[in-house]
Structure 1
Amino acid sequence: MALTVETLREDVAGLLGEDPEDIPLEENLVDYGLDSIRLMTLVGRWREAHGIEIEFADLAGRPALEEWAKLLGLPR
């Protein structure tokens, strides 16, 4: 399965115990409960499953799905 914005959303929602539709693309994910441990989990998951080479600090500095999609070069 390819990494898409919807995959990002589903992975984040799964870690937060939320419905994917309840996670907005533009909102700060920290406000939804994303902490550094969960973010490290996501980075590791995406590296392993999709071969993504992204740094934790890059995602932590811009904690919104739309920003991550830009960093990862994903179409919206």
Structure 2
Amino acid sequence: MSDQLTAATMRADVAEMLYRDPGETTDEENLFDCGLDSMRLMMLMERWREAGAEVSFVELAERPTLGHWTKLLAGRDDG
């Protein structure tokens, strides 16, 4: 995970897309069930790529939780 992209920034970015407070979303919550759609997911992906993350839409969409995304972008995804 780049210095610009932290777990806290990812949480804040997701909260912005869902019109929530950052503390309202848990690491295990399915973000599609919370209202995230493919367009917003693409926006997040592009934002995070600009911050130095190497991630694809499919990688994020397969497991749409903050916990998974944090591990994935930190290079510690345990499957």
Asked if TM exceeds 0.5, the reply is: yes
Q: Distance in 2 between matches of 1:15 and 1:46?
A: 13
Equivalent residues, number = 74
Pick one of 14, 17, 20 that aligns with 2:16: 14
Which contiguous aligned blocks of 4+ residues in structure 1 show a shift greater than 6 angstroms? Answer: none
Q: Given the superposition, is the C-alpha separation of residues 23 and 74 from structure 1 closer, same or farther in structure 2, using an over 3 Å criterion? A: farther
Match of 1:71 in 2: 72
Q: Distance in 2 between matches of 1:35 and 1:55?
A: 15
Q: Given the superposition, is the C-alpha separation of residues 14 and 31 from structure 1 closer, same or farther in structure 2, using an over 3 Å criterion? A: same
Pick the structure with more helix per residue.
1
Identity rate of aligned residues, in percent? 53
Post-superposition offset of 1:28:
0.5
Q: Which runs of 5+ in 2 are unaligned?
A: none
Q: Which runs of 5+ in 1 are unaligned?
A: none
2:11 match: secondary structure: helix
Cα RMSD (Å) of the superposition?
1.6
TM-score (normalizing by structure 2): 0.86
Contact map agreement 1:43 1:55 (CA 8 A) in 2: yes
